[in-house]
Amino acid sequence: MYRSHNCGELRMSNEGQVVQLSGWVQKSRDLGGMTFVDLRDRYGITQLVFNMDDNEELCEKARKLGREFVVHAEGKVSERSNKNPNRPTGNIEIIVSKLEVLNAAKTPPFTIEEETDGGDDLRMKYRYLDIRRDAVKNNIIFRSKLALETRKYLDSQDFVEVETPFLIKSTPEGARDFVVPSRLNPGQFYALPQSPQTFKQILMVGGMDKYFQIVKCFRDEDLRADRQPEFTQIDCEMSFVTIDDILNTFEGLTKHLFKHTLDVDLPDFPRMDYDEALKRFGSDKPDLRFGMEFQELNDLAQNKGFSVFDSSELVVGICAEGIADSYSNKDMKKLTEWMQRPQIGAKGLVYVKFLQDGSIKSTVGKFFDDDTLRTWGEKFGAKPGDVLFILSGEAEKTRKQLNELRLEMGRRLGLMKDGDFKPLWVIDFPLLEWDEESERFHAMHHPFTSPKKEDVDRMLNGDHETMKSLKADAYDLVINGAEIGGGSIRIHDRELQSKNFDLLGFSKEEAEEQFGFLMGAFEYGAPPHGGIAFGFDRLCAVMNGQSSIRDFIAFPKNNQGRDMMIDAPSPVDQTQLDDLNLKLGEIETAE
Amino acid sequence: MYRSHNCGELRMSNEGQVVQLSGWVQKSRDLGGMTFVDLRDRYGITQLVFNMDDNEELCEKARKLGREFVVHAEGKVSERSNKNPNRPTGNIEIIVSKLEVLNAAKTPPFTIEEETDGGDDLRMKYRYLDIRRDAVKNNIIFRSKLALETRKYLDSQDFVEVETPFLIKSTPEGARDFVVPSRLNPGQFYALPQSPQTFKQILMVGGMDKYFQIVKCFRDEDLRADRQPEFTQIDCEMSFVTIDDILNTFEGLTKHLFKHTLDVDLPDFPRMDYDEALKRFGSDKPDLRFGMEFQELNDLAQNKGFSVFDSSELVVGICAEGIADSYSNKDMKKLTEWMQRPQIGAKGLVYVKFLQDGSIKSTVGKFFDDDTLRTWGEKFGAKPGDVLFILSGEAEKTRKQLNELRLEMGRRLGLMKDGDFKPLWVIDFPLLEWDEESERFHAMHHPFTSPKKEDVDRMLNGDHETMKSLKADAYDLVINGAEIGGGSIRIHDRELQSKNFDLLGFSKEEAEEQFGFLMGAFEYGAPPHGGIAFGFDRLCAVMNGQSSIRDFIAFPKNNQGRDMMIDAPSPVDQTQLDDLNLKLGEIETAE
């Protein structure tokens, strides 16, 4: 037997018991004739004590223990004279009578502490050491708990978890697939799923009624910070539902998860039109932890002789509270430059300072008199000490830029508070996006999304311009400015699905080749259905107020898609390629 | 709203309520002025009634409904005059007042009934129709319930579910990997995991203590009946454990699963040495639902002048009860031929019939007198009416052949009863198998399995012959003759792991290249650990007394590894291959 208890559970009530513990040496200290060793496992830390007077040999042995040695100790639970109130086991210690080193350890390349001195690359290469750190360990345990609560809740709502296949078919729509050569079918390939979308719809046609799955998905994209080639979704689908049924069900799930993992009671989620979200916040995933809503100034600021505004489609601003007097000219210049970086691309930044002394200072002071500027301030409800930031230009672009500024000011003013959760349903997305470059429509959500019922006729019979105005029964769940989930009511009619593929530029043959099985299924009694998918990695991060998903993934890949620990991907033997009927191309291989 | 209730829940207590139901038309009957429609969904079937006298138009509409049409009906719950006691909703029917066809359906290519007339290929191509059948639907729902109970139990035992990566590194050991070309690292490949073995061990080094995962694994093998290229494991690992800790934990899991899905109380699981299992049953996965144990006859049957026995390493038999008088010479001849098929390869089959009239009839009657044959019968406890079947030859081969006969007789005599579950731990497997052909050792379990503690010294210091006798701390869970799970205590010491790779024919460089990260991890404080993996698909099948795993998988592949519904694998665009720096080889592609 290696242990009778773990390192987190002994209390004063165990005093006098002889116990066995196993774990890692967190640290050891020699104080006079005593040696103290902190023994750590997943559950906590317990202090071991060795006394030179009582057992010299054992104490010498303890003094040789290095950091991260794995040991087994037997001893008696005793009350500590010097209690540690910060540790659940802090009232007791173990007077050790037997000690066995189960495994020695080299000195770790970084410290196993809350705050480590290890850089990202080192932490990824020695992930097994990184996982011993509370910060990472607790994230991984949180993830497990969140997954279990998800399953318990959805089970209580009659959902069935169904595993859909990983070896499926490549489709050129959407992001790039990872492909898997088939040895038994030379020259042919499977693809790894970007999502189980078509399979969950097939399950609805199969009468499964309520489906979910917590499932890995794959996208071969050029990696950006905080994107992973494999990621996890809570994937769900329901039959015989309207949009309300779905929003209510998954609002219920989300509330359950917050309650049962964080003990947070979320309020009912507001719902906001896509159009309204853009107008008020310049984003389809507004962070509602703070206001700073957009106000449009076209009526108050145009036709007053300032040609930049007059020639703009939109003049729009936000009001940042309390910084009029503290933000210097230099600060304002820096902020303007920040907005002018290529990532944002604003031409300039107009501001109006309402100083505490009642005076007004503005970059456009020579075009507008104070009275006019005050009418602007009134529109924002600006008080002395506040600043208006104003952008102008083409509406869509300007809103996007102002959204960036709003978020930046939210950060600077400390308005994005940890532990404050502001969920929101964004609904009524456009069905199609016109892409000027490729001169075709793209699906705003995906090709299986249904237009709103009242738009079906216009979709089947309308002209090209009509298509741009179609609304979809699509929705996103947004929490604190992060898109947590998204979904839609699906098309369940062959004709409508076929029309959608037409609009998206599929030829009849391509549509049939790639999605014929689904359109075929629609002819055998497909029920109305819809669903949603949650980004599970992101949900974990947002619930813990962390910005990176990486530390909620046990073995993440780096920005080049490499697993630094196992060193993958890697070259394979030529015989393996021969079996697959494949040859490498001309590009020099990396090794 | 599409429904207020599902099709399985209405009872007499709902009488008088106006309800909304949606579902599929199972069948409809016209009886005089009445039309009856059975409306089906996942939850059950409810009878809809239309009356020509009350509403001719509605009744005409109902009469046009075809099988598998999807409809929405509103009506009043009424008591049935002609009750159906076989159906939970059989006391009521719905007097329909509104009917809407939500989707029409073509006539299905096979019947949606318990017993279908669809062949395998048709059922796979139209899987969405197959899933509507209770037989398949209930299997998939069972699987979901089993997974949830697994998670609940392991969570209650402090296990953490950790997702390990799917894009890992190819290793030539074991079965063939599916590989995934990396676009960002040209010429390099990921592999899909055959199991999360090394990652779960890394998690133990990382202090995760108790890990599990219900996870897809992949093997690119030539497919045999009832093998799938992707399959699901319950994968588990624990730290600071001995073999007893593991067997007790997962015996607990198995009992929990049987209790909470089938309401079956399993008894404590017996444990049997690998050697004993082979000796008594000729198999390391004996079906203990029936006896028919092997008895060795070397002492009683050799050196009596029958050269076939005398020259054999082993003479061994089984006793089949009650068939001496009913099995004719022709039956015996057929059985002998069955044993002589190449799949089994017995040279012949000796039998001794103890007839009801007290006489003895045997194929070896001219070599052995009745008194001798009676001593054989006594060894088996044979009664009048029983038959001994005896094989002889090289021990290992003969036991294998007799195992096949034992199973066949068990089937014929109806001894493998549905609902009878006989679990067994088989323990103390050999560590290594010597392969004559490749002149090297293979790992009996896998290269990470630890020798038993008492064999470690012999392994590190023994000669070649010693290696053949090493025993491993490896174990299998067998239920009703099916291997449900297997695992081992792992090596956690770099030197021992390195020695094992040596024995398995790895060069130092190969071992380092492929598993250097794991051996490296062992140097930073690896705890003693061990684990197990359950074949989840097989567990589902065995618990339901079914021999095929295929109908417990929502979307299985056929024996050529093809998904018949979506038609995968399939060719991909040349541009996709160019992106991956790949060219097809010389073999003609299939399309």
Q: Which of B452, B460, B471 is nearest to B503 (CA)?
A: B460
Residue A245 Cα, gap to closest chain B Cα (Å): 9
B66 touching chain A per CB within 8 A: no
For residues B352 and B320, is the Cβ–Cβ distance under 8 A? no
- Asked if residue A454 has pLDDT above 50, the reply is yes
Helix (H) or strand (E) holding A412: helix A395-412
Contact A579 B155 (CB under 8 A): no
CA dihedral A282, A287, A289, A293 (to 10 degrees): 0
Which residues in chain B are contacts of A199 at CB distance < 8 A?
554-555
User: What's the angle, vertex CA B244, arms to CA B241 and CA B246, rounded to 5?
Assistant: 60
Which residues in chain A are contacts of B140 at CB distance < 8 A?
160, 162, 208
d(CA A239, CA B77) in angstroms, rounded, equals: 23
Written as six digits, the tokens of B550 are: 């295929």
For residues B188 and A590, is the Cβ–Cβ distance under 8 A? yes
Residue B475: burial class (beta carbons within 10 Å; 0-12, 13-18, 19+):
buried
Model confidence over A118-129: pLDDT tens digits?
Answer: 788 899 999 999
Instruction: Give pTM, 2 decimals.
Output: 0.96
Contacts of B538 (CB under 8 A, 6+ apart): B482, B483, B484, B549
* Strand A432-435 with A44-51, pairing: unpaired
For residues A581 and A575, is the Cβ–Cβ distance under 8 A? no
Q: Which residues pair with A46 in a beta bridge?
A: A39
Which residues in chain B are contacts of A132 at CB distance < 8 A?
206-207
Q: Which of B581, B530, B254, B540 is nearest to A569 (CA)?
A: B581
Contact A569 B70 (CB under 8 A): no
A570, A573, A588, best to mutate vs chain B, most B CBs in 10 Å: A570
User: Which chain B residue is nearest to residue A242, measuring alpha carbons?
Assistant: B1
Residue type, B573: D
Contact B563 A70 (CB under 8 A): no
Using 50, 70 and 90 to split pLDDT, how confident is the model at A570?
A: very high
B585 touching chain A per CB within 8 A: yes
A584 touching chain B per CB within 8 A: yes
Model confidence over A256-304: pLDDT tens digits?
Answer: 999 999 999 999 999 999 999 999 999 999 999 999 999 999 999 999 9
Q: Which of A400, A132, A142 is nearest to A278 (CA)?
A: A400
pLDDT of residue B590: 46
Chain B neighbours among A 412-451 (CB < 8 Å)?
Answer: none
d(CA B297, CA B376) in angstroms, rounded, equals: 7
Residue B101 Cα, gap to closest chain A Cα (Å): 10
Facing residue for B70 by CB, picked from A218, A229, A525: A525
Residue A496: burial class (beta carbons within 10 Å; 0-12, 13-18, 19+):
middle
pLDDT of residue B585: 83
Backbone angles phi, psi at A411, to 5 degrees: -65, -50
A329 touching chain B per CB within 8 A: no
d(CA A517, CA A198) in angstroms, rounded, equals: 9
For residues A247 and A425, is the Cβ–Cβ distance under 8 A? yes
**Alpha-carbon separation of residue B392 from A301, B190, B294 (angstroms):** 104, 49, 12
Could you write out the DSSP letters of every residue in A513-527? HHHHHHHHHTTBTPP
d(CA A171, CA A188) in angstroms, rounded, equals: 13
**Alpha-carbon separation of residue A322 from A266, A325, A361, A416, B449 (angstroms):** 30, 8, 14, 16, 66
d(CA A155, CA A158) in angstroms, rounded, equals: 5
d(CA B355, CA B384) in angstroms, rounded, equals: 5
Contacts of B303 (CB under 8 A, 6+ apart): B310
B127 touching chain A per CB within 8 A: yes
Provide the sign of the torsion angle of the four alpha carbons B100, B102, B105, B110, taken in this order.
negative
A526 touching chain B per CB within 8 A: yes
Chain B neighbours among A 229-288 (CB < 8 Å)?
Answer: 229-230, 232, 240-242
DSSP label of B588? P
A380 touching chain B per CB within 8 A: no
pLDDT tens digits, chain B, 591 residues: what are they? 999 999 999 999 999 999 999 999 999 999 989 999 999 999 999 999 999 999 999 999 999 999 999 999 999 999 999 999 999 999 999 999 999 999 999 999 998 888 877 788 899 999 999 999 999 999 999 999 999 999 999 999 999 999 999 999 988 767 899 999 999 999 999 999 999 999 999 999 999 999 999 999 999 988 777 789 999 999 999 999 999 999 999 999 999 999 999 999 999 999 999 999 999 999 999 999 999 999 999 999 999 999 999 999 999 999 999 999 999 999 999 999 999 999 999 999 999 999 999 999 999 999 999 999 999 999 999 999 999 999 999 999 999 999 999 999 999 999 999 999 999 999 999 999 998 888 889 999 999 999 999 999 999 999 999 999 999 999 999 999 999 999 999 999 999 999 999 999 999 999 999 999 999 999 999 999 999 999 999 999 999 999 899 999 999 999 889 999 999 999 988 888 998 989 988 765 444
Q: How many CB atoms within 10 Å of residue A497? A: 21
pLDDT of residue A438: 84
Q: How many CB atoms within 10 Å of residue B55? A: 17
Written as six digits, the tokens of A245 are: 């049924």
Helix (H) or strand (E) holding B46: strand B44-51
What mean pLDDT is predicted for residues A398-402?
Answer: 98
Examine residue B569 and say whether the peptide bond preceding it is cis (omega within 30 degrees of 0): yes
B582 touching chain A per CB within 8 A: yes
Contacts of A57 (CB under 8 A, 6+ apart): none
Written as six digits, the tokens of B102 are: 């939500």
A199, A572, A583, best to mutate vs chain B, most B CBs in 10 Å: A572
d(CA A295, CA A386) in angstroms, rounded, equals: 15
- ipTM above 0.90 for this complex: yes
Contact B189 A218 (CB under 8 A): no
d(CA B90, CA B86) in angstroms, rounded, equals: 7
B113, B523, B524, best to mutate vs chain A, most A CBs in 10 Å: B524
d(CA A527, CA A538) in angstroms, rounded, equals: 31
Q: Which of A154, A246, A242, A164 is nearest to A201 (CA)?
A: A164
Written as six digits, the tokens of B523 are: 């140097």
Residue A135: burial class (beta carbons within 10 Å; 0-12, 13-18, 19+):
middle
Domains and CATH numbers, chain A: 12-103 (2.40.50.140), 135-268+534-575 (3.30.930.10), 291-412 (3.30.1360.30), 423-531 (3.30.930.10)
Using 50, 70 and 90 to split pLDDT, how confident is the model at A509?
A: very high
Written as six digits, the tokens of A277 are: 């979200």
Residue A565 Cα, gap to closest chain B Cα (Å): 6
Q: Which residues pair with A427 in a beta bridge?
A: A273, A475
Contact B584 A187 (CB under 8 A): yes
Residue B568 Cα, gap to closest chain A Cα (Å): 5
Chain A neighbours among B 495-514 (CB < 8 Å)?
Answer: none
At residue B184, the 3 state secondary structure works out as coil
Could you write out the DSSP letters of every residue in B385-428? T-EEEEEEESHHHHHHHHHHHHHHHHHHTT-S-TT---EEEEE-
Facing residue for A207 by CB, picked from B24, B144, B557: B24
Contact B188 A589 (CB under 8 A): yes
d(CA B428, CA B411) in angstroms, rounded, equals: 29
Facing residue for B190 by CB, picked from A151, A525, A568: A568
Contacts of B404 (CB under 8 A, 6+ apart): B339, B344
Could you write out the DSSP letters of every residue in B523-567? TBTPPPEEEEEEEHHHHHHHHTT-S-SGGGSSS---TTS-BTTTT
For residues B46 and B7, is the Cβ–Cβ distance under 8 A? yes
Q: How far is CA A93 from the centre of its chain?
A: 41
Q: Mean pLDDT for chain A?
A: 95
At residue B5, the 3 state secondary structure works out as coil
Q: For chain A, how far is it from start to end, CA to CA, in angstroms?
A: 47
- Asked if residue A588 has pLDDT above 70, the reply is no
Helix (H) or strand (E) holding A543: helix A536-543
pLDDT of residue B587: 63
Which residues in chain B are contacts of A584 at CB distance < 8 A?
186-187, 581-583
Residue B280: burial class (beta carbons within 10 Å; 0-12, 13-18, 19+):
middle
User: Which chain B residue is nearest to residue A523, measuring alpha carbons?
Assistant: B105
d(CA B534, CA A188) in angstroms, rounded, equals: 31
**Alpha-carbon separation of residue A250 from A235, A264, A449, A532, B50 (angstroms):** 11, 16, 18, 8, 37
Q: Which of B271, B190, B321 is nearest to B474 (CA)?
A: B271
